[in-house]
Amino acid sequence: MRYFPVFVDTQHTRALLVGAGEVGARKLELLLKTQARITVVAPYVCPTVMKLVSNNDITLKQREFEDADIADNNLIFVATDKPEVNQHVHDLAVAQDKLVNVVDNTPLCKFITPSIVDRSPIIIAMSSGGVAPVLLRYLRQKLESVIPAQVSRLGTFSERFRDKVKHTLKSVTERRYFWEDVLDGDIAEDVIQQRDELAAEKLLELLAQYQSDKPVQGQVYLVGAGPGDPDLLTFRALRLMQKADVVVYDRLVSPDILELVRRDAEKIYVGKAKSRHTLPQQDINELLVSEALKGNRVVRLKGGDPFVFGRGGEEIQTLLKHQIGFEVVPGITAATGAASYAGIPLTHRDFAQSVVFATGHLKDDSIDLNWQALAQPNQTCVFYMGLTGLGIICQQLIKHGLPADTPIALVESATMVQQKVITGTLNTIESIATEHDIKPPTLTIVGGVVSLHNQLNWFQTCSENDV
């Protein structure tokens, strides 16, 4: 992040605008939305700027820029059509450690002005660092269309009661839960509909309930993060991630998804890799209990779906034992995500009328499965965590009746830009996987449906290998 976003308090800011053409007029209109004291210096003043000056408290110096003009100003905009003047003002400001912006010349900017969605006191600012202004304008239009103008009333209403809530509820967690209840419920709707007094009555009633009730009871949410692509998160998953006090996440949760977690939430990594556990499962279970008992809203973020080889059942059993409230938020399973992005339908009338999910290793690290049930014709088998035991899986399936030339696919980093798909047969895939250095997380798909990969492979134009 080259440009760090900050909001400057303009109440005591003195702003200087050098240049008063139409480009300068746009910056002046922006500055007039602030509380800054504004000075404009320019030998030529366009009609738009002249009108703004006449209708507002602006100091106009209609002459050439002089070095002394920047002395009392701490926010400087330069918008002339003379490159030598722009450069000179920039150099002068930098030498005096002042914030300077030369319009449409990013290299001469110590700061850049963002694209703004103004719902004062709520302000949303966005920037592309000057590299994609059209994209930024597009995103701003999207936000303008979905954020109601009346949201500004919510900001003013919240400010009205902020101190009272802070003095009544001593816990930061309690205050956050309280305001979330206000903003998620009918109180916010009353404010938007300009029923402020009714909203105030309801807020005070809710505040009294919070004050009289027992301490906030923590809650645990087992949330499926999906196979990796953040666009595949459910709306509910994203909403809870934004509300979490603590997020307990595993190795299969992608960095892009973690970026969507509430910024000030505590993030605890409990990932498991092959033959190496950061935290044993029982300790993870107890961690969820411990954080919930502190009154925290805990999100247990799991790759895929919590109930498909995610050990969600084991964690819930511990929560029940300690009477901790919980919810389960399903996610797109790794199997369905990998199959979809690899162009391999798990069922197909010509190839597979059933699909079976199996784990590549059991609790004791063995691969003692019901091979007879897995080695059935017209069936798709998906193995989770099966890369280490790939050779054993292939041998056992052949031993129990599947032809050695049965198609098989390995999908590494499913749904991500680095996704890799290799295909082969039961008797060739192990050597192909070694050749292409396939690594976890990888899912294994076995069955006739794999033969459709070349035809239906929409996500990647070509795979690593097709045999």
| Separation between Cα atoms, residue 259 and residue 143, nearest integer Å | 20
Measured distance CA(338)–CA(332) in Å, rounded: 10
**What is the spatial distance between Cα 384 and Cα 443, in angstroms, rounded to a whole number?**
5
Give how far Cα 172 sits from Cα of 175, 178, 214, Å.
5, 10, 15
Torsion angle (degrees, nearest 10) of CA 330, 336, 342, 344? -160
How far apart are the C-alpha atoms of 356 and 382, rounded to whole Å? 6
Rounded Cα distance, 424 and 404, in Å? 10
Q: Report the candidate in 365, 423, 367, 422 with the shortest Cα–Cα distance to residue 392.
A: 367
Cα gap 463→402, rounded to integer Å: 25
- Reduced to 3 states, what is the DSSP secondary structure of residue 139? helix
Q: How far apart, in whole angstroms, are the C-alpha atoms of residue 228 and residue 431?
A: 27
The pairing of strands 115-119 and 122-126 is antiparallel
Q: How far apart are CA 114 and CA 129, in angstroms?
A: 9
* Residue of 110, 118, 272, 466 with catalytic role: 272
User: Which residue in 250, 302, 305, 420 is the catalytic one?
Assistant: 250
**Phi/psi at 198 (nearest 5 deg)?**
-65, -40
Active site residue 250: yes
The token duo for 222 is 């087992």
Q: What is the DSSP string of 352-377?
A: BSEEEEEESS-TTS-----HHHHS-T
Contacts of 350 (CB under 8 A, 6+ apart): 448
Q: What angle do CA 118, 124, 125 make, to 5 degrees?
A: 105
Report in angstroms the alpha-carbon separations of 339 from 130, 142, 266: 39, 32, 33
Q: What are the angstrom distances between the C-alpha of 53 and each of 62, 74, 80, 119, 421?
A: 12, 20, 18, 25, 64
Structure tokens at 171: 């816990």
Distance between the two ends of the chain, CA-based, in angstroms? 43
Angle between the N-to-C axes of helices 151-168 and 172-184, in degrees from 0 to 180, rounded to the nearest 10: 150
Asked if residue 43 lies in contact with residue 19, where contact means CB atoms within 8 angstroms, the answer is no
Is residue 363 part of the annotated active site? The answer reads no
Q: Which residues are catalytic?
A: 250, 272
